[in-house]
Amino acid sequence: MLLDVDYCQLVLVDYQVRLMPVIFENELVIANAVRLARMAQIMRVPVWGTAQTPDKLGPNVPAIHAAIEAAGGKTLDKAHFSAMVDGLGDWLRPPARKAQAAVPARGNARSLPKHLQRPAQQAVQEEETGPNTIVIAGCEAHVCLMQTALDLLEEEFEVWVVTDACSSRSERNRDAAFDRLAGNGAELVTTEMVAFEWLRTAEHPAFKALLALVK
């Protein structure tokens, strides 16, 4: 199963000025997060940011803050480690659409093989809920990123974690988060994977623009 740009939203979690200096491979992680936001802007994918207790950790670093704003997105200030607890779900799936989406329970779609999940989910998205695939990256991978992603999975979103735009203070914690997320049904991808799956073909009008960003 490949990413379908028409069903995607991008969430960038907690790239904050007082946190990023102690994050493993922080410069690479910030650069890839900015690339993701710029790619999303070009491909008209909605972009959202989060910031954990910004009065203590500060806002997101300027490059990421600017990239989110340039894409027409906004940033959720939060106190809980999972942004879903503080209302991210209402941004991703507005209340009016949530009310329309009240359908009979069909069981846990993620218990089905991946190739059987997509048709049923896509039909619901088209008719009722809007974009249901969340491309997510952020810090710290084993805390706010992971808890947000796990809650997204519980809410039956498809979750794709962009590993080279995520990190923690230690490599061990980052990798443990990836193992746990994969075990719970998240797809693990890279920034370039996202770019080329959103494009699908070198004939896409945005091919040159996205290629310039990933090179």
The one-digit pLDDT tens for each residue of the chain (215 residues) are 899 999 999 999 999 999 999 999 999 999 999 999 999 999 999 999 999 999 999 999 999 999 999 999 999 999 999 999 999 999 998 654 444 444 333 334 444 444 445 555 554 444 455 679 999 999 999 999 999 999 999 999 999 999 999 999 999 999 999 999 999 999 999 999 999 999 999 999 999 999 999 88
Q: What is the pLDDT of residue 98?
A: 44
> Exposed, middle or buried: residue 42 (CB in 10 Å: 0-12, 13-18, 19+)?
middle
Query: Domain residues of the chain, as ranges?
Result: 5-99+111-214
Give the 3-state DSSP-derived string for the chain, with helices as H, strands as E and coil as C. Answer: CCCCHHHEEEEEECCECCCHHHCCCHHHHHHHHHHHHHHHHHHCCCEEEEEECHHHHCCECHHHHHHHHHCCCEEEEECCCCCCCCCHHHHHCCHHHHHHCCCCCCCCHHHCCHHHHHHHHHHHHHHHHCCCEEEEEECCHHHHHHHHHHHHHHCCCEEEEEHHHCCCCCHHHHHHHHHHHHHCCCEEECHHHHHHHHHCCCCCCCHHHHHHHHC
Superfamily per CATH, domain 5-99+111-214 = Isochorismatase-like (3.40.50.850)
Rounded Cα distance between 70 and 63, Å, is: 10
Q: What is the pLDDT of residue 66?
A: 98
Sheet of 8-13: strand order equals: 74-78, 47-52, 8-13, 133-138, 158-162, 187-189
- Cα(72)–Cα(82) distance, rounded to whole angstroms? 23
Cα–Cα distances in angstroms (integers) from residue 32 to residues 15, 91, 166, 190, 193, in the given order? 12, 23, 9, 9, 12
Which pLDDT score, from 0 to 100, does residue 49 have?
98
Task: Supply the pLDDT for residue 215.
Answer: 83
